[in-house]
Structure 1
Amino acid sequence: MRHTMGNTPHLLTTARIIMAFDLELWYLRSLKFMISHNYLGPKLLMIKAMIRDLASFLYIIFVFITAYGVVSRAMIMHNKVDFNIYGIFSQIFYPPYSFLFGEMAENKNRTYIAQTSATYVLLAIHMLFISILLLNLLIAAFGFTINNVQVNTAFYWEYQRYLLIREYFEKPLFSYPPLTILPHIWYLVTHIFSKFIKPHNHNDNNHNNEEPQTTKEKFFSKK
Structure 2
Amino acid sequence: MAIDLEIWWLRCLSFIIVIPFLGPHLVAIWKMLKDLLFFMVIIAIVMIGYGVASRSMVYYPTVNNFTTEAGGSIDNSFDGRSVFRQIIYPVYYFLYGDFSDELANLDSNPDAGWSIADHVLLAVHMLFVNILLFNLLIAMFTKRYEKVHQETRTIWHSQQYLFTREYFTRSPFLPPISLIYDIYCLIRMFVFFIRRNYFETPVYQHTRVFKIIPKKRDTIKEWHNFEDAYTYEYAHDEVKALKTASMKSKSGSDSDNKDDTTTDDNDLNNTTNGLKQVQRSLTRLERIVEELNVQLEGAIEKKQNPTTP
Shift in Å at residue 22 of structure 1?
Answer: 1.5
Matches within 5 A, 1:28-67: 28-67=10-49
Q: SS state of the match for residue 17, structure 2? A: helix
Instruction: Return the index of the structure with the highest Cα Rg.
Output: 2
Q: SS state of the match for residue 56, structure 1? A: helix
Shift in Å at residue 77 of structure 1?
Answer: 2.2
Aligned pair partner of 1:99 in 94, 97, 107:
94
1:46–1:145: 8 Å Cα contact kept in structure 2?
A: yes
Matches within 5 A, 1:195-206: none
Matches within 5 A, 1:162-181: 162-174=161-173, 176-181=174-179
1:173 and 1:68 map into 2 onto residues whose CA distance is 55
2:51–2:91: 8 Å Cα contact kept in structure 1?
A: yes
Matches within 5 A, 1:57-136: 57-78=39-60, 80-105=75-100, 106=102, 108=105, 110=108, 113-136=112-135
Consecutive unaligned residues in structure 2, runs of 5 or more: 61-73, 200-309
AA matched with 2:96: F
Map Cα deviations across residues 73-107 of structure 1 (whole Å, 9 max, x no partner): 11112353532222211211011111111112216
Map Cα deviations across residues 166-214 of structure 1 (whole Å, 9 max, x no partner): 110111223x3232331355468669989xxx79xx79xxxxxxxxxxx
Name the counterpart of 2:150: 151
Matches within 5 A, 1:11-26: 19-26=1-8
2:23–2:156: 8 Å Cα contact kept in structure 1?
A: yes
Q: CA, structure 1 residues 181+57, in 2 after alignment: closer, same or farther (shift >3 Å)?
A: same
Shift in Å at residue 119 of structure 1?
Answer: 1.1
1:81–1:88: 8 Å Cα contact kept in structure 2?
A: no
Map Cα deviations across residues 28-85 of structure 1 (whole Å, 9 max, x no partner): 1110111011111111011011101111111111110000011111111235353222
1:38 and 1:144 map into 2 onto residues whose CA distance is 21
AA matched with 1:75: M
1:87 and 1:26 map into 2 onto residues whose CA distance is 33
Larger relative contact order (C-alpha < 8 A, sep ≥ 6)?
1
2:49 and 2:14 map into 1 onto residues whose CA distance is 38
1:159 and 1:189 map into 2 onto residues whose CA distance is 33
AA matched with 2:8: W
Q: SS state of the match for residue 32, structure 2? A: helix
Task: Count how many residue pairs are aligned between Structure 1 and Structure 2.
Answer: 180
1:82 and 1:27 map into 2 onto residues whose CA distance is 40
Consecutive unaligned residues in structure 1, runs of 5 or more: 1-18, 204-223
What TM-score does the superposition give when structure 2 sets the normalisation length?
0.53
AA matched with 1:104: F
What TM-score does the superposition give when structure 1 sets the normalisation length?
0.72
Alignment RMSD, CA only? 2.6
Shift in Å at residue 25 of structure 1?
Answer: 1.0
1:54–1:138: 8 Å Cα contact kept in structure 2?
A: yes
Shift in Å at residue 138 of structure 1?
Answer: 0.5
